[in-house]
Amino acid sequence: MQFELMASMMCADYGNLEKEVKELTAGGIDSFHIDIMDGRYVPNFAMSLNDMKYIAKESPKPLDVHMMIEHPNNRIDLFLSNLRKEDTVYIHPEAEYHPSTTLQSIINAGMIPGIAINPGTSVETVMEMLRIVKKVLVMSVNPGNAGQMYLPYVGRKITKLLALKEDMDFEIYWDGACSADKIIEFAPKGVKGFVLGTTLLFGKDKPYGETLNNIRELKF
């Protein structure tokens, strides 16, 4: 079964970032998930524009840029000018007065538009945006911090989205508390990709390539 694996780079060893990026690339990661946090929309600071540019320079793999900032439209051009056509940009609809304007900027720049849906955000409130995005990032934890526990009610939200995607042109991705049992449960249902953090990928005493191969060989 084919599904995408994205490395949550806020969990990487920043003292050895070049080594981390090169080993993940050689190990077969599909893309790098870049969490941009401003300490306002979420109660934490994480990666920056310079981090994003550095990873793009060190690896040909696509970037998955998750904008957890207030009013992303005020800064979106700065990020878009440093991205490639195969890169994705997710925004949180609640963070913007007119999120469709920001999504259109992403589309006009030639990048892949996406929205991130928080645990407390209903599918119904983002219905119209589902018609213009290519990716939907479902947060299975509240945004802002790594290492949180999975919120079980998010599974019902994914079920709703899976039914809608049959008539729309988007794919569903999982972000937060991603464990092997969640991949086994949701990949066969149609979830396209999974953001990997400390639960499955980082902080293990084995090469990234071995870890990624083990995940891809999970029994369904």
The distance of Cα 85 from the centroid of its chain, to the nearest Å, equals 17
User: Cα(170)–Cα(178) distance, rounded to whole angstroms?
Assistant: 21
Question: Under a CB-based contact definition with an 8 Å cutoff, are residues 41 and 71 in contact?
Answer: no
Let me know if 175 is a catalytic residue. Answer: yes
**Among residues 35, 38, 64, 87, which one is catalytic?**
35
Let me know if 77 is a catalytic residue. Answer: no
User: Cα(21)–Cα(96) distance, rounded to whole angstroms?
Assistant: 31
**Among residues 30, 77, 175, 205, which one is catalytic?**
175
Question: Under a CB-based contact definition with an 8 Å cutoff, are residues 67 and 89 in contact?
Answer: yes
3-state secondary structure 184-216: HHHCCCCCCEEEECCCCCCCCCCCHHHHHHHHH
Kindly report the number of other CB atoms within 10 A of residue 127's CB atom: 11
Could you list the active site residues? 35, 175
